[in-house]
Amino acid sequence: VLLGTNDKYAGVSPNNLANQSSSGLSIQIEMSTGFRKSLFDTFTLKSRASAQNGTFYQFTKTISDFISDNY
């Protein structure tokens, strides 16, 4: 969905980290809780830093490759 800059959901706030890149470009990905849980062997705030699994690494590589190839 493309939103106009006057739309309250347009995501144009200068305080939003996604809007602070040097290129001015950003990507925001909305992920369900179920998908986020699938990225970790143990899905707690404390354990996520060390519980990434193969799905996590596959997903982050795919996103990184996409950004490298397109931006």
pTM, full prediction:
0.65
pLDDT tens readout for residues 13-47 = 777 777 787 777 777 788 999 999 999 999 998 88
Domain segments of the chain: what residues?
Answer: 31-70
Cα–Cα dist 14/62, whole Å: 28
Give 51's pLDDT tier (boundaries 50, 70, 90).
very high
Residue 71 pLDDT exceeds 80:
no
Average pLDDT of every residue of the chain? 83
Per-residue H/E/C for the chain: CCCCCCCCCCCCCCCCHHHCCCCCCCCCCCCCHHHHHHCECCCCCCCHHHCECHHHHHHHHHHHHHHHHHC
